[in-house]
Chains A and B, each alone.
Chain A
Amino acid sequence: MKITIDQDRCVASGQCVTAAMDVFDQRDEDGVVVLLDPSPPAGLAADVRQAAAVCPALAIHVEE
């Protein structure tokens, strides 16, 4: 699994952090998404897919 994020699209909702906190974080100053792990272990795949699905800004792209 390979994850890419689009920080320009991000609306700082933090939904991704709630779904997969080992993979995503938010910048302290403006809440924009930070990718902690672009290739997370398989055990986190379901959480990452959930994070991409719930992102209201369509800012997370997952390649399986």
Chain B
Amino acid sequence: MNVPASVLVVGASAAGLATAEALRRQGYQGALRVLGAEPHLPYDRPPLSKQVLAGAWDPGRALLRPQAALAALDAEFLLGDAATGLDAGTRTVHTASGRALRADAVVVATGLRARPLPGQDALSGVHTLRTLDDALALRADLLAASRCVVVGEGVLGAEIAATARGMGLDVTMAGPQPAPLAGHLGPVVAGQLAGLHAEHGVRLRLGTAVGGLAGHGGRVTGVRLETGEVLPADVVVVAMGAAPATGWLTGSGLRLDGGLVCDSRCRAAEGVYAAGDVARWHHDTAGGLIRLENRTNAIEQAGLVAANILGADQPYRPIPYFWTDQFDARIHVYGTPSADAEVTVVEGDPAGRRFVALYRRDGRTTAVLGWNMPKQARLRRAEIGDIAGLAPAR
């Protein structure tokens, strides 16, 4: 395979920037362009729900690279211009401003879009959090509020609840699961998380689906549960997950099914690749399509895509990993935890707020979780078997 003369990366966040950087690090000398929908220089998203929302960092600290490092990449950044279409045959990307950008290789790294609650656009005081502008708008609203309801009990919802509580607000977390992250991490760890949030004064109204929003005069006044009860709020944060940002690829002929579907090389079509949250690729030891929404995957997958653009022809077989910080808990998870796994504490003590737990299914270890024990959890990563078809640790 010939090395392409030009590469266009669509998406200027972690995965997009990492692809461009990995190409240069791996010796690519061709023309490189990075297209970003947002006007900002590439910035990092994990701090948005934590340090940026809390005001501990000014937004500049969330930039992925200083401007000098971006300049040294010798890439053209086209920011503030969203992709609107792709002609996969000629690898031409059309943009909102009317550009038609052709390249020998195109990398789709457009990430996710937050899922709104029906009707939220009609009310002020209702937020989702995906972008830097979202985080700053939410922060401004929280500073003027006293009661916040977070709709969503996943990682993002739990982090936002913790941050808002740390800002001194009266915070309620609502969602259908019985405890934060219960569907993801199972009852033992989720129960521990529920205890952590309750201890810090977050009201947990979990286990009941959210029916909608209540408002008055164009402003939100609360969240209506399916039981009819209304949780009063000055500000509501909707953190019910996100969907891959593939709308612009409709009509491209590429397969869109819970993400941009790719082969084991993260290739969606000849000369078209995907990296990061948007990519749903064939994990060939897992034996199926998977998509990961986490920060380290964005970088790791970008590195693999860069190598494959340059002719490596390698499959992508990562062990999933994510971390989350909530109050004083720093939680690290390797592998594929599930609610039905048997969870055993193998180091430390949950009562002491420091422990490592193994997730086992059918006698095999499927995940390792560290609660304030990051190093100890990482050292057990190699114990993860191939039950989920995951490649051994590198």
B321 x A58 contact (CB < 8 A): no
A13 x B296 contact (CB < 8 A): yes
Within 8 A of A (CB), among B348-394: 370, 372-376, 378, 393-394
Contact with B along A23-64 (1 / 0, CB 8 A): 000111011000000000000000001000110101000000
A31-B296 contact, Cβ under 8 Å, with A11-B323, A56-B46: no
A31-B295 contact, Cβ under 8 Å, with A12-B323, A12-B330, A53-B303: no
A14 x B374 contact (CB < 8 A): yes
Alpha-carbon gap, A14 to B376, bound state (A)? 10
Q: Can you list 10 A-B contacts (CB < 8 A)?
A: A13-B323, A13-B378, A18-B378, A18-B393, A18-B394, A26-B375, A31-B373, A31-B375, A31-B378, A54-B303
State which of A13, A27, A53, A58 has its C-beta within 8 Å of the C-beta of B332: A13
A53-B330 contact, Cβ under 8 Å, with A11-B323, A31-B373: no
Within 8 A of A (CB), among B259-310: 295-296, 299-300, 303
Residues of B within 8 A of A (CB-CB), count? 27
B330 x A11 contact (CB < 8 A): yes
B374 x A54 contact (CB < 8 A): no
Contact with B along A5-23 (1 / 0, CB 8 A): 0000001111101100000
B18 x A53 contact (CB < 8 A): yes
B22 x A31 contact (CB < 8 A): no
Total contacts A-B at CB 8 Å: 59
A13 x B299 contact (CB < 8 A): no
Q: Is B325 an interface residue (CB 8 A)?
A: yes
A11 x B325 contact (CB < 8 A): yes
A13 x B64 contact (CB < 8 A): no
Within 8 A of A (CB), among B48-79: 64-65
Question: Among the interface residues A14, A17, A54, which one has the most CB atoms of the partner chain B within 10 A?
Answer: A14
Residues of A within 8 A of B (CB-CB), count? 17
- Chain B nearest CB: distance from A29 CB in Å? 9
Residue of A nearest to B300 (CB): A54
A54 x B332 contact (CB < 8 A): no
- Chain A nearest CB: distance from B323 CB in Å? 6
Alpha-carbon gap, A12 to B329, bound state (A)? 12
B374 x A13 contact (CB < 8 A): yes
- Chain B nearest CB: distance from A55 CB in Å? 8
Alpha-carbon gap, A48 to B378, bound state (A)? 19
Given contacts A26-B374, A26-B378, A56-B46, 10 further A-B pairs with CB under 8 A are: A13-B321, A13-B332, A31-B332, A31-B370, A31-B373, A54-B296, A54-B300, A56-B295, A56-B323, A58-B44
In the complex, which residues of chain B have a beta carbon less than 8 angstroms from the beta carbon of A17? 378
Residue of A nearest to B44 (CB): A58
Alpha-carbon gap, A36 to B127, bound state (A)? 44
Residue of B nearest to A17 (CB): B378
In the complex, which residues of chain A have a beta carbon less than 8 angstroms from the beta carbon of B255? none
Alpha-carbon gap, A17 to B379, bound state (A)? 10
Residue of B nearest to A28 (CB): B375
List of 3 A-B pairs having minimum Cβ-Cβ separation, nearest first = A31-B374, A12-B374, A26-B375
A53 x B44 contact (CB < 8 A): no
- Chain B nearest CB: distance from A53 CB in Å? 6
